[in-house]
Structure 1
């Protein structure tokens, strides 16, 4: 089922129907063409342009304008030739599109008022103000394939072996040649099992073998430190996005909760019926 505006082959040669020039500043209601009395307005042209693929939007304005107007003229002629008997699939598509567009407008309205300067400052203080404590860890590991190898390495380390030397000799991970050094990282940057093992260690302590999807690890925690909170400007957009997302979710939840929603039980309805092309045929 075709959607949106599609250019016909004569895109570059399309010409607009000439109308008398307007002395006033053009608006969305300015009529740019008529087809058997049916008006095509400047707003129709602007909406059509906004739905074009990006490569078409890069065309020179004079070419793009003429092509869109000509396309809308052709579509109006085709629409009139088809008549007033709207197919069910078209009527349903129009209902869905109207619902989607108006829902989008409501979302935009909610988002516009959801991230004031005061709201952003309060969100920043809640996330990064007094009581903020995020820790970074500096660790190294030796990665091997089996638990038996990991246990043997742990025993060597307990006996006084040098961690970096063992990592260079035995680790199969990419950090092996660098003595297993992983540098500084924070929570969320490593796989959960590895991360939990690191956070349970004291500086200088070596872990028991830890299994992840990559193999078996023996980990040493070199050091840990508190992380400085980010500057407000560095997280402003992130906080704004979170506030807007929450405002929309809360608004949708409240609207649905207040609405009378009915979902009748339909005997014999199988979810797979929505993929049946015959469903939308009159």
Structure 2
């Protein structure tokens, strides 16, 4: 795997298209986001929306397969880096998606190695880590006139409900496939609220096991006990941890995935 400093150096000399493919390959090859493999299958002529783009793993892969991409990243330096590195059909919004238009405080935790931007949150930080606070702009996705998305990825460290409330019209109109990180530690005792929002809109939840989609929810046999202990949402039947869920609507995009 090419180290990041070498990629940054290559940015000065290699063609932009080659660098996009190299960075997308690096994102996939790390293996910590197996759901990236779903993105090409979900492309059906519409766009991709990345809410909580961070360093751009999903945005870079989506840029290779979708005619237009909207990426939301409120941390100024990360948004600036994505603008420099990504092609013109990718729009970087230096905003936090939410259910209201205004401002909010984004908390970015750090440890001895530096800032952990992937855990930045508009909620209170879990644990006792030090943090940097940044005031950011918030906007509902429904207020931005976004074009039809085939797929949406949401990774916002416990702020999922607000993002979904602010995108109800977009989601109900286009019924995109959605990849959403949901963890009980970020909203203990309320984890199922995110699922209920989407169940009410007709979506069904799945997890990716290897190359197989497995349904997660009241209709699945290993869901027993979740109502009593919502932390079990993040446990597979074999006890392994899961935090990325794929939501598909029976009348929406994602038919290619349901055929797996």
Bin for the TM-score computed over the shorter chain? under 0.3
Of Structure 1 and Structure 2, the greater helix share is in 1
Of Structure 1 and Structure 2, the greater strand share is in 2
Q: Which TM-score applies when normalising by structure 2?
A: 0.21
Higher radius of gyration, 1 or 2: 1
Q: Which TM-score applies when normalising by structure 1?
A: 0.20
